[in-house]
Structures are given as structure tokens and as C-alpha cells.
Structure 1
Amino acid sequence: MEYASLPPGKLTTTQAAMACGVDPSTIRDWVRRGILTRCGGSPRRPIYRVQDVIAAKTAPKPSRPGQRSRVNTA
């Protein structure tokens, strides 16, 4: 169940994912990795600030050990 209404400038996990063009699991991963922080809500239904979501989308993502790197072949 989603929130009935949110304060202006706040997004749910699903809304943040749609705004970034990623899956909700990616948003949760960004939180776990410290790229994005929650600004309220509950543990099961966090809320994020729009500014934080935009900053997380453009932030450089640290790689994990053993992670395959993307190589552009163009």
C-alpha cells in the first residue's frame, strides 16, 4: 500500500525508481550502499527527497569487488 498523499518534494521508493528509470530494488541498493538517504516514512515505506534522488542518479557509483565493468564497444 502506498501513501495516500505525500508532502511536496517527497517520493516513495516506487516513485523514485520511476523518476530515475531504474527498478525499486536499485533504489534500495543505493540506500544500502550510502548513495541515497531516507528522509522519513517507516522502515517498510521510506520517503526520499526529490533533490536527493536526482543527486543519487547522477552520483558516481562505487564498484564492488569482482563486479564486471561495462565496456563500450562503439
Structure 2
Amino acid sequence: MEYASLPPGQLTTSQAAMACGVKPDTIRDWVRRGVLKRAGGSPRRPIYRVDDILAAQQAPKPTRAGQRAQQ
């Protein structure tokens, strides 16, 4: 179930993923890694600020040990 309406400038996980051209799992991974912060909602239905989403999309992402470098 999605929210009926959100405050202006805020998106759900699936909307944020579509805006960035990534999968919803990527948005959740950014939150887990500390690249993106939730702006509210509930633990099962978080919402994010558009400005934060765009900043996270451009931010360098932390890597895991042993992860291949992107070329």
C-alpha cells in the first residue's frame, strides 16, 4: 500500500528509485550505508526528501572490502 498523498517534495522508496533510475533495493542499501537518511514515515513505509535523494545519487558510495572497483 502506498501513501494516499505525501507532503510536497517527499517520495516513497519506489518513487525515489524511479527518480534515480535504480531499484528500490538500492535506495534501501543507501540508507543502510548511511548515504541517504529517511525523512519520516514508518519503518515499513519510509519517506525521503527529494533534495536528499538527489544528493545521495551524486554522493560517492562506500565500498565493501573485496568489492571490485567500477571501471
Structure 2 matches for 1:10-29, cutoff 5 A? Answer: 10-29=10-29
Question: Residue 28 of structure 1: CA displacement?
Answer: 0.1
Query: Distance in 2 between the 1:61 and 1:43 partners?
Result: 23
Query: Distance in 2 between the 1:62 and 1:32 partners?
Result: 11
Match of 1:59 in 2: 59
SS of corresponding position for 1:47:
strand
SS of corresponding position for 1:28:
helix
Query: Distance in 1 between the 2:33 and 2:53 partners?
Result: 14
Structure 2 residues not aligned, in runs of 5+: none
Match of 1:69 in 2: 69
SS of corresponding position for 2:47:
strand
Runs of 4+ in 1 over 2 A off after TM superposition: none
What is the TM-score with the length of structure 1 in the denominator?
Answer: 0.94
Query: Distance in 1 between the 2:70 and 2:42 partners?
Result: 35
What is the TM-score with the length of structure 2 in the denominator?
Answer: 0.97
Give the superposed CA RMSD: 0.5
